């Protein structure tokens, strides 16, 4: 397909996605799940949130449905969850410290509040293999989360924190987070991604079945 044809196809998909948001009969509950990270560096510890999102897309059968959305500067995929709920999966195409712009634009596009936006990101203060689902709070020094708080003007977003461990020396933190997982660490990743996906889906399903969309 020529570049102009590809652009027309992307615009058509983007407009079609917008129409689907507004059509009657579509899910009454919708959740945005954003995997924070750096585009072009999918195998690094800092982008483990994107790895979780990839596993979530595979679990939901939409791994081949990613669409680049120029309005959000992100890759989007829509996935049904039960009979009346839907997940909007988002992978920002901006650098980590600007991820919040993509997340906020997608939340606006789909008419979602901060409480309906899940952030999945790396956590230095937890060892690799440990997970924690946190409801709101401060950024705790994470630039991607800080960007989301600033752009959404809220700190209410639920966050799945994926442990990557902290190096012994503070001076090594940047190299650690931007580095790839070691061969030994890579062996731990598949079960970690599965457990992270389980935890996300369990929490979102429980909220979808509840009387309100609050955490």
Q: Pick the closest to residue 196 from 85, 40, 54 (CA basis).
A: 54
Evaluate if residue 60 carries a pLDDT over 80.
yes
* pLDDT for position 24: 37
Query: In this structure, are residues 49 and 120 in contact, taking their beta carbons and an 8 Å threshold?
Result: yes
Quote the pLDDT of residue 167. 87
The stretch 13-26 carries a mean pLDDT of 47
Contact 200, 192 (CB under 8 A): no
Cα distances (Å, whole numbers) of residue 178 to 35, 77, 132: 16, 26, 21
Per-residue model confidence as pLDDT tens digits over 88-122: 999 999 999 999 999 999 999 999 999 999 999 99
Q: pTM for the full model? A: 0.85
Contact call for residues 99 and 92 (beta carbons, < 8 A) = yes
Gyration radius (Cα) of the chain, Å: 17
**What's the mean per-residue pLDDT of the chain?**
87
For tokens 């988002």, name the residue: 90
3-state secondary structure of 163: strand
pLDDT recorded at residue 23: 42
C-alpha 196/C-alpha 41 separation (Å) is 20
Q: Rounded mean pLDDT of 56-70? A: 96
| Structural domains present in the chain | 29-209 (3.40.50.1470)
Could you tell me whether strands 117-123 and 85-92 are parallel, antiparallel, or unpaired per DSSP bridges?
A: unpaired
pLDDT of residue 215: 46
pLDDT at 1: 52
Q: Tokens representing 37? A: 């990270």
Of the listed ranges 27-31, 125-129, 199-203, the least confidently predicted one is 27-31
For 174-196, the pLDDT digits (tens) are 999 999 999 999 999 999 999 99
Residues annotated as catalytic are: 46
pLDDT tens string 20-36: 443 434 567 999 999 99
């Amino acid at each position: 397909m020529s570049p102009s044809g590809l652009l027309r196809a992307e615009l058509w998909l983007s407009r079609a996605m917008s129409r689907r948001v507004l059509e009657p009969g579509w899910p009454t509950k919708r959740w945005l799940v954003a995997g924070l990270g750096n585009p072009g560096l999918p195998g690094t510890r800092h982008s483990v949130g994107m790895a979780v999102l990839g596993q979530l897309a595979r679990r939901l059968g939409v791994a081949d449905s990613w669409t680049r959305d120029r309005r959000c500067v992100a890759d989007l995929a829509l996935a049904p969850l039960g009979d009346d709920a839907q997940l909007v999966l988002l992978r920002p195409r901006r650098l980590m410290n600007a991820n919040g712009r993509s997340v906020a634009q997608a939340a606006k596009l789909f008419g979602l509040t901060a409480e309906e936006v899940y952030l999945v990101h790396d956590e230095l203060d937890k060892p690799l293999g440990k997970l924690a689902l946190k409801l709101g709070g401060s950024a705790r020094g994470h630039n991607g989360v800080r960007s989301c708080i600033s752009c959404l003007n809220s700190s209410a977003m639920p966050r799945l924190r994926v442990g990557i461990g902290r190096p012994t020396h503070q001076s090594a933190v940047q190299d650690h987070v931007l580095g790839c997982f070691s061969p030994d660490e890579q062996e731990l990743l598949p079960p970690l991604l599965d457990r992270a996906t389980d935890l996300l889906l369990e929490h979102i399903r429980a909220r979808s079945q509840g009387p309100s969309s609050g955490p």
